[in-house]
Amino acid sequence: MILNSNQIRAWDTFTIKNEPIESINLMERAALACFYWLKKMNFSSSQFHIFCGNGNNGGDGLAIGRLLLYAGARVNLYILKGKNKGSVDFQTNLLRWKEYSKREINWLSEPSDFPDLSDGGIIIDALFGSGLNRPLDGFNAQLITYLNEKAHLTISIDLPSGLRADELQIEEQKIRAHYTISFQCPKLAFYFPENEKYTGEIHILDIGLHSGYLENLTVNHYLLDVNKIKSLYKPRKRFSHKGTFGHALIIAGSYGKTGAALLSAKACLHSGVGLLTIAAPKCAYDILQIGVPEAMVISDDKSNKIASLKLNFPQYQAAGIGPGIGTAEATRRWLLEQLSKIKKPLVLDADALNVIAYEEKWKCIPKDAVLTPHPKEFDRLFGNCQHSQERMQKAIEKAMELSCIIVLKGHHTLIATPEGMAWFNTTGNAGMATGGSGDVLTGIITGLLAQGYSPTDASLLGVWLHGRAGDLASKEYGEEALSASHIIQFLGKAFLSMTCP
């Protein structure tokens, strides 16, 4: 789960009260976790420049510095000179530093105090952490700019200074960390694409916060990981037959875009569906019969596009519509007519979403439908968004308003549910940013719907499997050479990685 900054502070307080443990000792526990991480990464014997504010993030930095000194590292300490003495735990760790080390403390109050960082040492950013709720300005902004310009390698503790934990702010000064070490659970800020250049590689360290705090906690943002997926998965029974696993309908393709239909259909078959029918224009008929011999094919009277297909939707357990169908006027009229007839679980992707956006008919989206837009398709459908947090919030709002599931595709694909929940996927890689990858996802989710998974569960399971197959494929082919067909190729191994010990 993903907690906001207030919830995380409340979790600290709950732990202090109920473990029980003193606040300063909980800070020491966090510092030890950071020290062991530095040691694991082979950083612990390096030269360090530790920059501290006078809050608890600065207290973390002081404690980490002291532990590094214990281990024999070379540590230079720099502290912002504030108007007040700082937090109690900061003051305690400052005293501990002075008691242990005779090294000079460098106080920073003006640009002339900025140190020479040409030795290539590691910068530890413990200036502000998640306690910041306003833009950095003046001297603080100057310091951030200086560190970004001079840094050889920067490690931020909790959050890169200047970054907000729960709110995306674009035009603000922030540390550009190579690594971010955060505690116990991830922060919402880590899932905004705009923040990638600031967070670098993210590591979440367990510091043993009391699990009792989570028992009655209301959370709306979750991580989609293998444990959640295992709880959703339905193993096959030995006496099953093809009828047990449903009959799916994929409506896809137009002249020049038969590949979209092929990819979606193959992915649907590899998701475990019992039977598959593909509905496509006449020009795709021979290609699909040869390319997907396991499927049945229905062709439109029109040669180059779908415009007059007559389908018996009740005979299918689920349908997926959109990959490569185009947005010709006849196709738009046909699709809007079908949406009023379909009472089965439904996936709407690609051109199906573009048609709805073009006609401004999004209220005709059937209840419980699964929408799988990429960001531009989402904006066409629901209006332009200025940044990813606005898009995320709108996806949650529209999923609730329309009683549908919105799968907003991206590096951490967001699954927004009608109940107002938001799930961020933890599988997938940049190699999957390639044509046809979305068609594959449509096929997977459609196949899972046909097997009886609920729209939400099919979306969660489908997105995770899609990303997992992409991860396995990238290990074989590399991200640059990865294609949508490779994702299908590795779906079997994705299932096995979920079900095998």
Q: Are strands 422-425 and 414-416 parallel, antiparallel or unpaired?
A: antiparallel
Residue 135 confidence class, pLDDT cut points 50, 70, 90? confident
d(C-alpha 403, C-alpha 207), whole Å: 39
State pLDDT tens for residues 292-318.
999 999 999 989 999 999 999 999 999
Distance, CA of 271 to chain centre: 22
Residue 239 confidence class, pLDDT cut points 50, 70, 90? very high
Residue 499 confidence class, pLDDT cut points 50, 70, 90? confident
Q: What residues does 182 pair with on adjacent strands?
A: 204
Q: What residues have CB less than 8 Å from 66, skipping those under 6 apart? A: 31, 93, 96, 97, 100, 101
Whether residue 155 contacts residue 122, with contact meaning beta carbons closer than 8 Å, is answered with yes
Within the chain, how many helices (H) and strands (E) appear? Answer: 17, 17
Place of tokens 């956006």: 357
Residue 131 confidence class, pLDDT cut points 50, 70, 90? confident
pLDDT of 45 strictly over 90: no
Domains of the chain (ranges, CATH numbers): 5-218 (3.40.50.10260), 226-233+247-499 (3.40.1190.20)
Give the least confident one: 128-137, 384-393, 401-410, 451-460: 128-137
The tally of CA atoms less than 13 A away on the side-chain side of residue 423 is 23
Residue 26 confidence class, pLDDT cut points 50, 70, 90? very high
For 231-238, what is the mean pLDDT? Answer: 94
d(C-alpha 379, C-alpha 385), whole Å: 6
DSSP annotation string for 220-260:
-EEEE-HHHHHHH--PPPTT--GGGG-EEEEE---TT-HHH
* CA atoms 128, 134, 138, 142: torsion sign: positive
**Angle, helices 258-270/491-499, rounded to nearest 10 degrees:** 30
**What pLDDT was estimated at residue 360?**
84
d(C-alpha 98, C-alpha 66), whole Å: 10
Q: What residues have CB less than 8 Å from 138, skipping those under 6 apart? A: none
Residue 272 confidence class, pLDDT cut points 50, 70, 90? very high
The tally of CA atoms less than 13 A away on the side-chain side of residue 5 is 14
Give the percent of the chain with pLDDT over 90: 92
State pLDDT tens for residues 325-339.
999 999 999 999 999
For 35-49, what is the mean pLDDT? Answer: 92
State pLDDT tens for residues 212-231.
999 989 999 999 999 999 99
pLDDT of 193 strictly over 90: yes
User: What does pLDDT average to over the chain?
Assistant: 96
CA gyration radius for the chain? 27
How many residues comprise the chain? Answer: 501
pLDDT of 362 strictly over 90: no
Residue 501 confidence class, pLDDT cut points 50, 70, 90? low
State pLDDT tens for residues 284-293.
999 999 999 9
Among the listed residues 398, 473, 405, the one whose alpha carbon sits nearest the alpha carbon of residue 436: 473
Alpha-helical regions (H) of 153-225: 196-199
* CA atoms 57, 60, 62, 64: torsion sign: negative
More confident residue, 84 or 487: 487
pLDDT of 93 strictly over 80: yes
Distance, CA of 311 to chain centre: 37
DSSP annotation string for 392-431:
HHHHHHHHHHHT-EEEE-STT-EEE-TTS-EEEE----GG
For 69-89, what is the mean pLDDT? Answer: 93
Whether residue 199 contacts residue 190, with contact meaning beta carbons closer than 8 Å, is answered with yes
